[in-house]
Amino acid sequence: MFGITKENESTIKFNEEKLDTIVSSNITIDGKFKSTGNIRLDCTIIGILDSESLYLGQSADIKGDINCDNIIVAGKITGNVFCKGKMHIKETGIVNGDIEVSILSMDEGSTFSGKCTRKKFEPIKTDNLTNDDKKNKIDNKSNKKIN
């Protein structure tokens, strides 16, 4: 009755990690946005978004496709999402577009309109490669969906 609230595993994981960047709600980005690390977006983006771990705050408004490893959505996405890991749509989250994801969870009250495809992504094998070759292989693999 008054116990600990059970949170989604991806939300717990994201909260434990350090945020590298926060982009506030008074920013509008028009064009391709590419980021590494953990980022929180509360802004408007019109274009392609390519990042590792994303947290889209309640005021986030993304109009375009997203390619990411993990994502938590509390804002609005109008476009397709390609997520290699976990996607969690919070109760205030709205997604209008198709999703290709390994693991999807949604809170009661969240909105999703589109087609969802569950896909198990292969880990990138980087044994016996130089650091430059590893980076190129990772970049090429992450750019397969969106260009």
Write down the pLDDT at residue 88: 97
Write down the pLDDT at residue 1: 36
Q: What spatial distance separates the first Cα and last Cα of the chain, rounded to whole Å?
A: 49
Spans of the chain, pLDDT less than 50:
1-8, 10, 12, 16, 142, 145-147
Write down the pLDDT at residue 6: 47
Write down the pLDDT at residue 74: 97
Burial 118-145 (b: 16+ CB within 10 A, else e): eeeeeeeeeeeeeeeeeeeeeeeebeeb
The C-alpha atoms of residue 104 and residue 85 are separated, in whole angstroms, by 9
Q: Is 30 exposed, middle or buried (0-12, 13-18, 19+ CB in 10 A)?
A: exposed
User: Considering the entire predicted model, what is its pTM?
Assistant: 0.72
Q: What is the torsional sign of CA 56, 91, 83, 45? A: negative
Write down the pLDDT at residue 127: 57
